[in-house]
Amino acid sequence: MRQIETKGMMEQFQAHLNNTNNQRIIFSGCFGSGKTTFLNNFFNDPAQQEKYYVCKLFPVNYVTSTNKDIYELIKFDILIQLLGTGITIERTDFEKVSTICRSVKSNALKLLQSILGVASLIDENTVKLGKAIEVIANIYKDYKDDSPKTKIEQFLNDLENEIGTSYEMNDISNLIREMLIKASKLENKQKETILLIDDFDRLEPLQSFRLLNILSTNDNETGTGENKFGFDKIIIVCDINNLRDCFVHINGTNKAFNGYIDKFYSTEIFRFDIRNDLVKVINILFSQINMPPDVRSEFFERYLDIIQVMINCGEINVRTITKIQEAHIEIIPTKTLDDFHKTCDYAGLLFLVLKKMFVDDYEVSNAISACSIQEPLSPYRKNFTAINEVLCLLYPSITEKQQHELLIYDNKYTFNIQKTAYYSYWKLVAVNGVTDYYALTFPVFHLLDRIKYQYLNIPKSYE
């Protein structure tokens, strides 16, 4: 997929990150909006790698029953990443290394299997896990003559039967703190350490708040108010609206939500939104759709503004755009003008394109209805071709020069129709009696909502 230019959002996030008061950050954006890709691009930039050491957690791996289990798995995950990125351990720390293994309870192997089973994480985590085993093995070699790697792998295999103690967990916390100090000085550069917790969108409500509660209580372990394990910054990646819905689901009300959530960010929630950037490049992104160039050009002219409105309403995002780029429009829908003339059914093509983006016809219907409610008015002149096409589908039997009135959202829209041998043209002549229609707006999605049943396989009783 073509890289979307997000320079403005990059600068905003850099400023937010540079604020020394922002020790805890909530990075909020809608599901599918490109949060993970954005953060990967940001922190993979060589200039950022000079300044930050980032430890990433994916809490979807911690689907377990108790807070204690999750706490231990988090520690294990952090240690594996620290060991796998070149952080060394002194030979005198070997007892702590043993403690690492003993402290992780029966879910540790499940964590490893989960990490290795997630396609997007396989490369990064298998490499780190392998390096971590090597580091521990080298330490172990100083104490034993037999195969150290085998011994370490045996440690991992024995985790299923080991029960951790409070003393062990404290010992692990201390080891993580010591290793983070080393991480902050990697390559002889002073770096800030960041704990980045991604994929909150994929957790069940109880799991989300179980993890948040763990972060909250652990901040107070040292009595200094510092972050968990001594990280300079913690970034929680989520959709704050989803968290609010989860809070209501658990508690039945959102009255105490603001008081609860504000402990997880220092100054303000960072709102990730690249819809404007996506709108700017939508014609380039859509140019990859496999259809005849002349049809594509006309389709853009008629429906590009409508697609842009759907982006602004949040119904089309980076994830849905990716789907259409991978799609192939095999058959272009047509409509018959007479026995000798046919033309592309561009309204039908719009719905065909939308169906390629969404999971099913019901999702397309929901998206159109949502746009009708969120942003009912669009510039008439930009959309007159699409409006004309939809009106012709709704009122095919109206005779030439007949006037027609539509009452939508308490406004009265007056149209005249003109017909040629092959085409019908609707012309907006007044809105509530005002004839200066060039400066007016029109509820385009209201009309699309009415014709969707002609193109979607859903019952009219669905709404």
Please state the three-class secondary structure of 107-158 as a single string.
HHHHHHHHHHHCHHHHHHHHHHHHHHHHHHHHHHHCCCCCCHHHHHHHHHHH
Residue 316 near residue 353 (C-beta atoms within 8 A): no
The reply to whether 229 and 242 lie within a common domain is: yes
Q: Note whether residue 142 is domain-resident.
A: yes
The yes-or-no verdict on residue 462 having pLDDT over 70 is no
Per-residue pLDDT tens digits for 199-226: 887 777 777 887 887 776 555 455 556 7
- pLDDT-based confidence at residue 370 (cuts at 50, 70, 90): very high
- Which of 237, 271, 305 lies at the terminal end of a domain, its last residue? 271
The reply to whether 195 and 327 lie within a common domain is: no
- Which of 271, 290, 314 lies at the terminal end of a domain, its last residue? 271
The reply to whether 194 and 94 lie within a common domain is: yes
The reply to whether 211 and 149 lie within a common domain is: yes
Average pLDDT, the chain: 78
The reply to whether 351 and 376 lie within a common domain is: yes
- Which of 222, 239, 271 lies at the terminal end of a domain, its last residue? 271
The reply to whether 77 and 192 lie within a common domain is: yes
Q: Please give the tally of structural domains in the chain.
A: 2
Q: Number of helices (H) and strands (E) in the chain: give both, helices first.
A: 20, 12
Q: For CA atoms 159, 163, 168, 169, give the dihedral sign.
A: positive
Q: From residue 296, how far is each of 262, 333, 345, 392, 416 by CA, in Å?
A: 48, 13, 12, 21, 29
Q: What are the beta bridge partners of residue 408?
A: 411
Q: Note whether residue 9 is domain-resident.
A: no
Centroid of chain to Cα 183: 29
Q: Which H or E run contains 425?
A: strand 424-431
Q: Note whether residue 3 is domain-resident.
A: no
The reply to whether 367 and 267 lie within a common domain is: no
* pLDDT score of 240: 92
Q: Note whether residue 322 is domain-resident.
A: yes
- pLDDT-based confidence at residue 143 (cuts at 50, 70, 90): very low
Per-residue pLDDT tens digits for 10-55: 999 999 999 999 999 999 998 888 999 999 999 999 999 999 999 9
Task: Supply the range of the domain harboring residue 103.
Answer: 16-271
Q: What is the pTM of this model?
A: 0.76
The reply to whether 42 and 142 lie within a common domain is: yes
Q: Note whether residue 6 is domain-resident.
A: no
Q: Which residue has the higher pLDDT, 183 or 161?
A: 183
DSSP 12-34: HHHHHHH-TT-SEEEEE--TTSS
User: Cβ atoms within 10 A of the Cβ of 410, count?
Assistant: 6
* pLDDT score of 67: 58
Q: Note whether residue 459 is domain-resident.
A: no
Q: Note whether residue 1 is domain-resident.
A: no
Q: Note whether residue 110 is domain-resident.
A: yes
The C-alpha angle 294, 368, 305, rounded to 5 degrees, equals 40
